Chain A
């Protein structure tokens, strides 16, 4: 059997195995195990324990649990509500202003937490009931938060970007910086659509409300400021190359936990334990997938699949944009079914050489890939954000949430098109700060 044939077989088997409902991490091990045993003999399995360990024993990976803990601390505090309230006090008179406050809150919270479902949950819990109370259509209320939440993996710091950086050997600091402008662009697009949607439905900021004075406008914002400063500090030390991502994340996590305890008086050991245990569960889940993906990609390269796929695609000699289109469709489909981290770990080692050979910037590609993954978060069957929203507003129903989210999916596709036409959106800032690649 040719490597390409085996590759195709692995792809099919992986889809079937993962669809069975087996945890993604163990599913990847099962596939790796089966194919190694059949094609390389049972004796080749002896190395698996060592591979799993060495796949995990990487200092850069330490940043993942640290960023998760940072996000968990902020998500456990009322910071999401404060953020949202603060923005509302500034924007409540703009038509569709509440939706825009929510999107802005999502973008900022995304920066704080680095996690999409956490962003959805934190902002949605406050934002969705409030929007519905003020007469916003259900679809707009739920769809905008579902979409806004996806910004979590694009706007730095982002666990998804760290995983991309590790599996492709690219600079994590540079990846973070590359995500900033595209993240703001998507936020802007989402906001513009929300305003248009509100305006089209003849919806005004009808509610008579008291004026907020400057003090009131600043009060809630002040509580958020320390967290924003921590994130900016992290970006700054990463940009300056002063500290590694793991060091920055570790200190950031510790500072956030302390800040949460100080600002929101969460001294209670039970609450602190909750932050620790929820970050442990999420970290373990992601790290197990990382270890399993190490076995999976070892299998691919040991059976010469990685190399053959790259070679045969290079031999096709097709137009680079057609190639990118194909890669994009592939990522979109993969993102429909798999969590972003798993997609990146499984495909980045194969896609990276192809994309670079076609002359694309790896940091630009990271942004395009991440937006594809964002789309997967708000499309069925495993759109995690949809289920988070469904949990917050169960009476709206998934079909309506989905209808509300659809325009935002189209906006993200528009975002990808814009990035293709103007790659500078992703490359300008990193090139400016770090110099060209």
Chain B
């Protein structure tokens, strides 16, 4: 079981790097777009859509990494008042519910992607790239997120520590 857990965790970490790169790319393209549009006065074609999709990709692909590092904000009201054993059961229940939610999202994301792929849909802009490209992070990111939740559930059931060791404190939500 440990190789599976370690494998998924490594995958989630790789997702984190990929998501960060997507955001960096988005930031650079925004600057390029501003430069082209406002300084050179040339119309931009692909930038708006690229940036939008890059941020969506960062979100979807980054989510397993954020789950791994406990960065998704929670409201720990009930666990706060529970003792150790019931707290673990509640965490298990919550993780199973979240697993179902992620699995349904990943599955419906997959069918949406698959439809776009087989029907050859393109996006609505002048640029018009195939729609399946921006949709790909939907099944992939949410699929890995579901895997990461599977690992969480396994860890809870077998009493392993969650999160594969935190590398930094949880990011404060805004």
Contacts and interface: CB of A to CB of B under 8 A. Distances in A.
Interface of A: 17-27, 29-30, 33, 45-50, 52-53, 56-59, 61-62, 65-66, 68-69, 114-118, 121, 152-153, 159-160, 242-243, 246-247, 249-251, 253-254, 273, 276-289, 291, 337-342, 381-382, 384, 388
A159 B173 CA distance: 10
B75 A53 contact: no
Given A24-B74, A53-B138, A285-B71, A247 B98 contact: no
Interface of B: 16, 19-20, 23-24, 26-28, 30-31, 33-34, 38, 48, 51-53, 55-56, 58-60, 62-63, 65-67, 69, 71-80, 90-91, 93-95, 97-98, 100-102, 104-113, 134-135, 138, 142, 168, 171-174
B75 A21 contact: yes
A278 B174 CA distance: 13
A318 to B, nearest CB: 31
A56 B67 CA distance: 19
Contacts of A249: 30
A288 to B, nearest CB: 6
B56 A24 contact: no
B174 A116 contact: yes
B123 to A, nearest CB: 9
A207 to B, nearest CB: 32
Interface residues of A: mostly helix, strand, loop or mixed? helix
Contacts of A117: 172-174
Given A21-B91, A29-B101, A30-B98, A285 B31 contact: no
Contacts of B109: 49, 52-53
A284 B94 contact: no
Given A116-B174, A246-B30, A280 B62 contact: yes
A26 B71 CA distance: 13
Contacts of B173: 117, 282, 285-286, 339, 341, 384
A24 B174 contact: no
B90 A21 contact: yes
A236 to B, nearest CB: 14
Contact of B72 (A23, A53, A246, A381): A23
Contacts of B59: 56, 283-284, 287-288, 291
Contact of B111 (A49, A62, A283, A388): A49
Identify the interface centre among A21, A66, A282: most chain B CB within 10 Å of its CB.
A21
Contact of A21 (B65, B94, B104, B107): B94
18 contacts: A20-B79, A21-B74, A23-B98, A26-B72, A26-B101, A27-B97, A29-B101, A46-B111, A48-B104, A59-B51, A62-B51, A118-B174, A251-B34, A276-B24, A279-B23, A282-B173, A382-B76, A384-B173
B95 to A, nearest CB: 8
A62 B29 CA distance: 11
A288 B72 contact: yes
A147 B20 CA distance: 32
Given A21-B78, A381-B77, A283 B56 contact: no
Contact of B73 (A23, A29, A246, A283): A23
Nearest to B59: A287
A30 B23 contact: no
B109 to A, nearest CB: 3
A61 B55 contact: yes
A124 B126 CA distance: 49
Contacts of B60: 56
A388 B169 CA distance: 11
B19 A53 contact: no
Interface centre among B26, B69, B71, B72 (most CB of A within 10 A): B72
Nearest to A277: B20
Contact of A280 (B19, B95, B100): B19
Instruction: Find the residue from B24, B69, B72, B75 having the highest chain A CB count within 10 A.
Output: B75
Contacts of A247: 30, 33-34
A388 B101 CA distance: 31
Contacts of B56: 53, 56-57
A57 B134 contact: yes
Contact of A254 (B19, B28, B66, B91): B28
A48 B104 CA distance: 8
Contacts of A24: 72-75
A62 B102 contact: no
Contact of A381 (B80, B135, B168): B80
Contacts of A21: 74-79, 90-91, 94
A364 B107 CA distance: 42
A250 B26 contact: yes
Contact of B71 (A47, A284, A340): A284
A19 B77 contact: yes
Contacts of B62: 280-281, 283-284
Counting from the closest, the 4 A-B pairs by CB-CB distance are A250-B30, A117-B172, A49-B108, A23-B72
B69 A281 contact: yes
A59 B48 CA distance: 7
B75 A18 contact: yes
Contacts of A159: 174
Given A30-B97, A284-B65, A384-B172, 18 more contacts: A19-B75, A23-B98, A26-B97, A29-B101, A53-B56, A53-B112, A56-B55, A61-B55, A62-B52, A117-B172, A250-B34, A254-B30, A280-B65, A284-B66, A287-B59, A381-B80, A382-B76, A388-B172
